[in-house]
């Protein structure tokens, strides 16, 4: 199960501890629901692997930051593992989530 967290309100601009957070949203999505959502948007595992390969082999540094079918591909070339992430909007994640909670401190 994947998760996303958003800090909606904090005592400081850059919270460093839980006590700094006033309100956050937690969203949990099962792998099955995530893969189903991606496939409904024409992104099968094989197509995502091909997309990752294409992004890594392209010399244009912004090539990975594309919005296709409502999904954003983000290439973090500065990190050791050089991941390519698929960013899905908060609203879409809420729609397919198993758990969606607002947490207040």
pLDDT for 89? 85
Lowest mean per-residue pLDDT among 3-7, 8-12, 53-57, 97-101: 3-7
Q: pTM of the entire structure?
A: 0.70
Provide Rg for the chain, Cα atoms. Answer: 16
Report DSSP letters for 39-89, one per residue.
HHTT--HHHHHHHHHHHHH-S-TTTT-EEETTEEEEE-TTSTT--EEEE--
pLDDT for 48? 87
Q: Domain range spanning residue 38? A: 2-104
Number of domains in the chain: 1
pLDDT for 97? 93
Q: Which two tokens stand for residue 8?
A: 């909606």
Residue with tokens 């609203």: 91
The partner residues of 100 in beta bridges, in order of sequence, read 27
Q: What is the pLDDT of residues 42-101, one digit of tens each?
A: 888 998 888 888 888 876 655 555 566 668 888 888 889 888 888 888 888 999 999 988
């Amino acid at each position: 199960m994947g998760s996303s967290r958003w800090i909606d309100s904090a005592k400081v601009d850059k919270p460093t501890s839980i006590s700094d957070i006033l309100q956050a949203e937690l969203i949990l999505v099962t792998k099955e629901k995530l893969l189903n959502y991606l496939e409904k948007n024409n992104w099968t595992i094989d197509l995502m692997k091909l997309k990752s390969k294409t992004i890594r082999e392209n010399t244009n540094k912004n090539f990975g930051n594309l919005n296709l079918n409502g999904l954003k591909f983000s290439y973090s070339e500065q990190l050791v593992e050089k991941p390519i992430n698929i960013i899905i909007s908060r609203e879409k994640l809420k729609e397919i989530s198993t758990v969606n909670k607002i947490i207040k401190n």
